Amino acid sequence: MADFMGLMKQAAQLQTKMQALQAELDTIEVEGSAGGGMVSVRLTAKGDLKGAKIDDSLMKPTEKEILEDLLVAAHADARRKAETVMQEKMKGLTGGLPLPPGMNLT
């Protein structure tokens, strides 16, 4: 029975740490860019879009499709960086064990 109580205590501690990590991930921002920096986006480590910057030279009707593609690419770049940050934070929390497939913090 003592093992079960110890396990429950560890589970409660892990839950508290996970909640703190969730709050921390809301404050960490990453930036992704595309087109040699002509387009950039900022995301939280949880993937929430916080801002975007677009070079003035792309603000032409004839550049619309290029701008759309660069926004998607910049977002994908930032998302990869956010996922890397999240995985690094989780390794610290789980002692280096990876998250099981399908288990996500966001």
Tally of domains within the chain: 1
Is 66 part of a structural domain of the chain? yes
Q: Look at residue 39 and tell me whether its pLDDT is greater than 90.
A: yes
Spatial distance between the Cα atoms of 32 and 80, rounded to a whole number of angstroms: 9
pLDDT at 51: 95
Average pLDDT, the chain: 85
Is 99 part of a structural domain of the chain? no
pLDDT in tens, 40-88: 999 998 889 999 999 999 999 999 999 999 999 999 999 999 999 988 8
74's CB contacts (< 8 A; 6+ apart) are 32, 33, 34, 35, 39, 40, 41, 52
* Tokens matching residue 24: 């921390």
Is 16 part of a structural domain of the chain? no
CATH code (residue 70): 3.30.1310.10
Is 36 part of a structural domain of the chain? yes
Is 63 part of a structural domain of the chain? yes
Is 5 part of a structural domain of the chain? no
Element (H, E) at 54: strand 49-54
Is 96 part of a structural domain of the chain? no
pLDDT at 3: 83
Domain, as residue range, for 37: 28-90
Element (H, E) at 24: helix 2-27
